[in-house]
Structure 1
Amino acid sequence: MEKYQDKALTPKERAIDLVSRMTLEEKVSQLSYNASAIERLGVPAYNWWNESLHGVARAGTATMFPQAIGLAAMFDDEKLLEVAEVCATEARGKFNQSQKYGDTGIYKGLTMWSPNINIFRDPRWGRGQETYGECPFLTARLGIAFVNGLQGNAENLKTAACAKHFAVHSGPEGIRHEFDAIATPKDLSETYLPAFEALVKEAHVESVMGAYNRVNGEAACASEFLTGKLEAWGFNGHFVSDCWAIRDFHTKHLITNTVEESAALALRLGVDCNCGDSYYYLLSAIKAGLVSEDYATESAVKLMTTRFKLGLFDGNPEYDAIGFDQVSSSAHKKLSQECAEKSIVLLKNNGLLPIKRDQIKTIGVIGPNAASIDALRGNYFGTGDEYTTFLKGIQERFEGRVYYAEGSHLFKDSLQPLGEYGDGYAEAKAVAAHSDLVVLCVGLDATIEGEEGDTGNAFAAGDKNDLFLPKVQQELVDIVLELNKPTVIVVSAGSAINPKGDKADAILHAWYPGQMGGKALANILFGDVSPSGKLPVTFYEDVELLPDFEDYSMTNRTYRYAENNVLYPFGYGLTYSKVNISDLSYDPHTSIASLSIENLGDYETDEVIQLYMKDLESIEAVRNYNLCGFKRVHLKRDEIVKMELLVPRSAFEVVDQKGDRAVQSNKFRLFAGVSQPDELSQRLSGIPVKSFEIVLK
């Protein structure tokens, strides 16, 4: 038995032996995402590219969960762990069948290029929907949970997770291939890098993906600074380039002259796996002396180590037994629906919701997203074996008459190719006129909000120009609201949208809620479930008051630094009930914050306790405060629950201008509530936040 076949050795020891038997050509063949087979060594072909952002994507049928930004709105790391466990289970089930039938192609492997833990710093960014929002703390805690769920806790990895896009990457999409993101040491350490550090140190994420852009002059996929950070954090997995990012070195960033130079630079600075075709030229680069073969050897070892960790050469009885029946099972779709119910955010409610069925005989469902499957999906999605649109969910739930009008196109002037401008408005008026209540379903989808449409992407989408609905939809909203019918606006979008719904009775932000989104919406509308989602991003009033999109400074960005321009704050979201927080205390010996929460309202509901810390002394502290703890709790009517939350040491730390993190102060104020402690959040929710002064000794 050869050493690489010895299961008693570590994955790395086996990988070192296996790679030592490869020729230069064979080693190089393993460094591209579509790795070739090496039959003489028993190495099968393997495609490293697979996706599971909110369900296994692009590989046929799979359970489709709410888009990542919606999952973040749950503020529930335990539930996100369950979601990731389902993704891993379905990935294994699909992988087992693909192997059985000889399919080793793209999107069929066990290396999942998720999660996206970039910071959603600007609401115009189209790919913000893929993230967990604007808060480094929330992003880190949710990212850790997702990685743990994907990778499992057994001897072999269930799947291999990937933290992306490293780093300082959040638009603009249109110039991402040549853009240089300039970030200060303070912003790097305080905002852009903490989630990556947490996933490396705490979740032991198996891979990291580099970004397209440059960071302070260095290409993110060839950065001594970023590579140094990974080394300092103890990263021992593999590094993959974003797709065709190495090509940008010589075609966009102009830091090299040829593809051979680009491949050599990337390999030398730590890119083990190239998503793209640049490493096809690596053999000639090595032979030309542009880079040493030793780097190819080192990268091949890292990649083979991951494959050994996954059990791809030995099999794994537990994982190999996962059957195709696990894919899109009833239990998994039930979890998807539960996540959608927890993610939908109630932004406004004057008492119309929940719908009083005994008072309503007819409902009008209007809008381009009412019957849209795309409005459920977001980007990076799989294929659901069933979909419940908003219209279908309401029809299935409501016993009375449901009228429907599309009302307008998502963004075009007319619904029909030969139609006149606004050719759906009249029908929308008719439906509203015949209805006791209107549910107006508007928003975006991934055809107009998402990733730049280049190699490998499903849509030619991109960033938003403003924070409003497309013109034809805004006119539709205005027309319906002018009729003075009781109206609920439901917005599907992966980002902040202001539907100008001052005259609406209620506004729900549904994100892209997954394949069961219509059932979830209906359950909320009719009061079977209380809404409980919280905003993981700030909803701003006006894009014109934001810093320039290309400005990566955190000044006047996100809840931590916002000075004005806030429509709905980070952490905000109503329920159908009212709660009260009391008995807040903090034990410095255990770092535990204790409190009680009481349901004072008429409805059973979930709520999210949120802890924020304000440094009262340091000039290096964030302008406002930092989220430092959160926990979802279910409350029956009149129930009182005592809760304990750990306050991490990082809550007391600040980052100075050099990027160094330390505790500089003695006095702090800890806030506890179901929102931020700002005046606007407390006014909108009607629920005061409690606080406790902490003095460190």
Structure 2
Amino acid sequence: MNRIIKKLPERILISACFLLTSHSHAETLPFQNQSLPVETRVADLVDRLTLEEKVSQLFDKSAAIERLAIPEYYWWNEALHGIARAGKATVFPQAIGMAATFDEPLIYRIASTISDEGRAKHHEFLREDTNAMYGGLTYWSPNINIFRDPRWGRGQETYGEDPFLTSRMAVNFVKGLEGQDPTYLKSVATLKHYAVHSGPEVSRHSDDYAASEKDLTETYLRAFEDTIAATNISSVMCAYNRVNGSPACGSEALLQNTLRDKFNFSGYVVSDCGAIADFYDENSHHVVDSPAQAAASALKSGTDLNCGDHHGNTFSYLIEAVAEDLVEESDIDQALTRLLTARMKLGMFDNSSTHAYTKMPMSVVGSKNHLELAREAAEKSMVLLKNDGVLPLKRNSKIALIGPNADNPAILVGNYHGTPVQPVTPKEAFSQALPSNQIGYAPGSSITENIFTHFSPVPSSVFTHVNMQGESKPGLVAKYYPSSHFNLQPSKRHVEMNINLKSEDIPFNKASNQEFAVRWTGKITPQESGNYYFKMKNVEVYLDGELTDESRYLEAGRSYDFKAESLIRRFWHSNVIEPEISFNWLIEDKNLDSEALRVAKESDVIVFVGGISAELEGEEMPLEIDGFSHGDRTNIKLPESQSSLLKALHKLGKPMVMVNMSGSAIALNWEDKNLNAIIQGFYPGEQTGPALLNLLYGDTSPSGRLPVTFYSSVDDLPDFKNYNMVNRTYKYYEGTPLYPFGYGLSYADFRYDKLKITRSEKGLNIATTLSNKSDISAQEVVQVYLGMPDAPIRTPQRELVAFKRVNLAGGESQSVKFTINESQLVYVDEQGQRQPYKGKLLVTLGGGQGVKRSDNVVQHSINLP
């Protein structure tokens, strides 16, 4: 109460000044007055709040302040490669696939499209009076950590291993998300995870990573620094791990001295979810002893917003921290000012929101133009790794489409994704494009061990129920309950033929964020005996009263009591927006390889779609099997189930094309030596199928380039937890890569003329002539690398400094020019300082580094005095 009384005169003064200068808006409070500067509005709002109210706003689930008509707000939202976890939205290639395009304007267009859909969905939620997690405008994307080790399962979320490529992708993505309006933010972009964060997943809450000043400047912080310098980025997320002894979310060196003082970052910092609780958790960092100390440490170091998960809201202890003099209320005001500034710029405190972003219609979500952009991005993201002439495929060839990813929806989306609007797997695309007698399909194997991909919905033919007259009828009795438990009477009861419901199929009048429950009862009578594997989404299944795990033996003709229950709840890990519910199965006892061999024998060409999926690699997963551990990988081999099948198919003597789907490098050593063609797909989005067909049949020439090095194995790489950059990435790897960073083939024959290099005040002017010697129209990704062999310390053997896409028709030539700025003609010393380079400078320009393939690059050297 005393605090409120002390602030009263200042409030009266602000209100009085406002009344004297703005009579037309006398009915509003200053923070609601759109004609006032944002700084004034934010200051007024902060001043009106009690300490308890202030602290309530520093949590990802910010509480409503009813006396000021401020609604609750969920800060947590995702937009990594499309609006995620908020129902249907266009799904673009995973971030690593976007990086493989090496196409800056394309990334901007994708991000602008994502923010269009985000704005449309957000305002639709508001019209429905819905405040929902994943319904806001503050996106925790992009992930610009450096993919330094192929074992990291979350590397798929990044733009690869090179800081320069990463920053160029990030700059365009941020600009597309945040928009170009001089007054309003279209949405908030968040650079994550700051910093020195790239696995292992299993120990990220307790690991302390040592990084030298050189490696920090040269590798781990560069993309953050460059992106912040080129944009007015609104937000940064700090990481779970410690860096040189301090938790990343409690590091004054990282957050204050570097991020704010050196990089001039002016936005807000949000913690990774649960990261602040790791400060005191005995099984995590445990660098302090209490939640209040953890909250104070994070806040004073520069973390403004706490994302909590199963730990709860550690920042709620800031009230206790103030009482114990661990922090000042002014520290809380500073954090709150940063947060409210972002919300104010998003238009969230405007009485009348009339700017253009508020008028984005829902019709843009999954529109024809957006799906065409998704297809274009998918085409540009795929990388042709090998081709002996078998590609493009002949139109009249009979195709054997084989492999566990040929009809696997998971490979379309990767992780952190929404619900695709028009997902098309390779099998679906082939089936739509070719007559039935020209295509044969077989999954051929599991994706690895007993993890299968070829599930199908449990058919209606096996379900029955007894009606009110005691008669056995097809289908299951479904009862829908208006909340997330079964204590109330069902609001709807009817018969459903099976459990395979899209959100639009759910016969229940619910708001976008409403919890509900469903129970199905009846009998299930399998028509074939075997060991059944089950895949369930948002549902638990009981057979004869026993909860069903992932597999069970079922006997043909035997009727089992069947019950299934679905609880749609608002938890941080759950999505109540446009939920889908499904119960799928397959019989493990099928002889998959013999069926694949039969189909292959009847074909002219074998197209094998394999690899892995985000169900094997990803974020802190429980899975632990051969090759995979908690989301990371313990080796980078192709799983044995696929490798053995490929070798059996190869013995047939048929031409073979492999399409490898993964978010990380696979050691395709045998495949490179023995198969006719290999295409790499980095979870290419919902239009994977049509894009792949266009590449296979030559309607589009492949143009993607690898954003990571493909190694032959991880045996000669440093330990996964070792963050020293020696022998890592294309810059420092001392061995011979299977496929180098920047590598990728084309159907066209591109050739480069000699380099012309001149020095000017701006730096180096580089020019060459690029010619397309073929009759195929195609795009080439022209890359420029520099080497500094005369530097007094270890420097990258070569480093990407520029790139651009060039489109050339068959027989066409074009002059290609680059200017390399003086700021790029430097090396980083052991103290992390940039020093001007003097001596021989090696310049490589072409379709790659000149490693593995030297016929498509030109090289020259110049002496820098």
Distance in 1 (alpha carbons) for counterparts of 2:199 and 2:169: 22
* 2:335 equivalent to 1:299: yes
Q: 2:52 aligns with which of 25, 38, 50?
A: 25
Distance in 1 (alpha carbons) for counterparts of 2:337 and 2:451: 57
- Partner residue in 1 for 2:636: 467
TM-score using structure 2 length: 0.78
Query: Which amino acid in the other structure matches residue 75 of structure 1?
Result: F
- Greater mean alpha carbon deviation, residues 39-48 or residues 270-279: 39-48
Query: Which amino acid in the other structure matches residue 116 of structure 2?
Result: T
Identical pairs, percent? 43
Deviation sequence 1:133-180 (CA, Å, 0-9, x none): 000110011111110111111121101100000000000111101011
- Partner residue in 2 for 1:197: 225
Partner SS, residue 304 of structure 1:
helix
**Equivalent residues of 2:202, 2:630 under 8 A apart:** no
Deviation at 1:282, TM superposition (A): 2.3
**Equivalent residues of 2:393, 2:697 under 8 A apart:** yes
Partner SS, residue 634 of structure 1:
strand
Distance in 2 (alpha carbons) for counterparts of 1:310 and 1:25: 24
- Partner residue in 1 for 2:657: 488
Deviation at 1:461, TM superposition (A): 5.0
Deviation at 1:565, TM superposition (A): 4.1
Partner SS, residue 753 of structure 2:
strand
Matches within 5 A, 1:599-678: 599-678=772-851
Query: Which amino acid in the other structure matches residue 162 of structure 2?
Result: C
Distance in 1 (alpha carbons) for counterparts of 2:185 and 2:91: 23
The size of the alignment, in residue pairs, is 686
* 2:842 equivalent to 1:681: no
* 2:264 equivalent to 1:234: yes
Q: 1:330 aligns with which of 360, 368, 386?
A: 368
TM-score using structure 1 length: 0.96
- Partner residue in 1 for 2:381: 343
* 2:223 equivalent to 1:170: no
Deviation sequence 1:190-224 (CA, Å, 0-9, x none): 00001001121111210000000000111000001
**Equivalent residues of 1:440, 1:490 under 8 A apart:** yes
Partner SS, residue 572 of structure 1:
coil
- Greater mean alpha carbon deviation, residues 620-629 or residues 405-414: 405-414
Distance in 2 (alpha carbons) for counterparts of 1:368 and 1:445: 10
**Equivalent residues of 1:413, 1:421 under 8 A apart:** no
Partner SS, residue 715 of structure 2:
helix
Structure with bigger strand share is 2
Distance in 2 (alpha carbons) for counterparts of 1:209 and 1:305: 17
- Greater mean alpha carbon deviation, residues 259-268 or residues 584-593: 584-593
Distance in 1 (alpha carbons) for counterparts of 2:123 and 2:618: 31
Distance in 2 (alpha carbons) for counterparts of 1:460 and 1:113: 25
- Partner residue in 2 for 1:266: 298
- Partner residue in 2 for 1:553: 724
Q: 2:287 aligns with which of 219, 239, 255?
A: 255
Distance in 2 (alpha carbons) for counterparts of 1:694 and 1:31: 54
Query: Which amino acid in the other structure matches residue 159 of structure 1?
Result: S
Matches within 5 A, 1:4-83: 4-83=31-110
Distance in 2 (alpha carbons) for counterparts of 1:194 and 1:171: 18
Distance in 1 (alpha carbons) for counterparts of 2:589 and 2:147: 35
Structure 1 residues 215, 109: CA separation in 2 closer, same or farther (over 3 Å shift)? same
Deviation sequence 1:312-347 (CA, Å, 0-9, x none): 112242011101001111100100100000010000
Deviation at 1:389, TM superposition (A): 0.2
| Runs of 4+ with deviation above 6 angstroms | 419-422
Distance in 1 (alpha carbons) for counterparts of 2:229 and 2:141: 17
Structure 1 residues 460, 56: CA separation in 2 closer, same or farther (over 3 Å shift)? farther
Distance in 1 (alpha carbons) for counterparts of 2:69 and 2:643: 60
Deviation at 1:661, TM superposition (A): 0.7
Deviation at 1:688, TM superposition (A): 3.4
**Equivalent residues of 2:837, 2:864 under 8 A apart:** no
Q: Rg bigger for which structure?
A: 2
**Equivalent residues of 1:451, 1:460 under 8 A apart:** no
Q: 2:188 aligns with which of 148, 157, 160?
A: 160
Partner SS, residue 440 of structure 1:
strand
- Partner residue in 1 for 2:273: 243
Distance in 1 (alpha carbons) for counterparts of 2:229 and 2:306: 24
Deviation sequence 1:295-322 (CA, Å, 0-9, x none): 1111111100001111111224201110
**Equivalent residues of 2:743, 2:849 under 8 A apart:** yes
- Greater mean alpha carbon deviation, residues 271-280 or residues 164-173: 271-280
Deviation at 1:460, TM superposition (A): 9.6
Distance in 1 (alpha carbons) for counterparts of 2:420 and 2:93: 12
Distance in 2 (alpha carbons) for counterparts of 1:522 and 1:20: 60
Query: Which amino acid in the other structure matches residue 230 of structure 1?
Result: L
- Partner residue in 1 for 2:210: 182
Partner SS, residue 545 of structure 1:
coil
Partner SS, residue 9 of structure 1:
coil
Query: Which amino acid in the other structure matches residue 107 of structure 1?
Result: Y
**Equivalent residues of 1:614, 1:669 under 8 A apart:** yes
Matches within 5 A, 1:98-497: 98-154=125-181, 155-227=183-255, 228-231=257-260, 232-251=262-281, 252-276=284-308, 277-314=313-350, 315-358=353-396, 360=397, 362-399=398-435, 401-413=438-450, 417=532, 423-453=591-621, 462-497=631-666
Partner SS, residue 78 of structure 2:
coil
Deviation at 1:689, TM superposition (A): 1.4
**Equivalent residues of 1:628, 1:648 under 8 A apart:** no
Deviation at 1:234, TM superposition (A): 1.0
Deviation at 1:420, TM superposition (A): 6.7
Distance in 2 (alpha carbons) for counterparts of 1:303 and 1:181: 29
Query: Which amino acid in the other structure matches residue 445 of structure 2?
Result: S
Deviation sequence 1:512-567 (CA, Å, 0-9, x none): 01000010000000110111100000000011111100110111111110110411
- Partner residue in 2 for 1:511: 682
**Equivalent residues of 1:408, 1:422 under 8 A apart:** no
**Equivalent residues of 1:345, 1:573 under 8 A apart:** yes
Deviation at 1:10, TM superposition (A): 2.9
Distance in 2 (alpha carbons) for counterparts of 1:6 and 1:662: 50
Distance in 2 (alpha carbons) for counterparts of 1:448 and 1:503: 26
* Structure 1 gaps, min length 5: none
Partner SS, residue 199 of structure 1:
helix
- Greater mean alpha carbon deviation, residues 309-318 or residues 197-206: 309-318
Deviation at 1:601, TM superposition (A): 1.6
**Equivalent residues of 1:239, 1:273 under 8 A apart:** yes
**Equivalent residues of 1:626, 1:651 under 8 A apart:** no
**Equivalent residues of 2:788, 2:837 under 8 A apart:** no
Distance in 1 (alpha carbons) for counterparts of 2:850 and 2:588: 49
- Greater mean alpha carbon deviation, residues 521-530 or residues 601-610: 601-610
* Structure 2 gaps, min length 5: 1-25, 453-530, 533-552, 554-586, 623-627
Deviation at 1:410, TM superposition (A): 1.5
Distance in 2 (alpha carbons) for counterparts of 1:117 and 1:623: 20
Deviation at 1:471, TM superposition (A): 2.0
Deviation at 1:669, TM superposition (A): 2.0
Partner SS, residue 488 of structure 1:
strand
- Partner residue in 2 for 1:539: 710
- Greater mean alpha carbon deviation, residues 582-591 or residues 340-349: 582-591
Partner SS, residue 302 of structure 1:
helix
Distance in 2 (alpha carbons) for counterparts of 1:51 and 1:192: 23
* Alpha-carbon RMSD: 1.7
**Equivalent residues of 2:405, 2:610 under 8 A apart:** yes
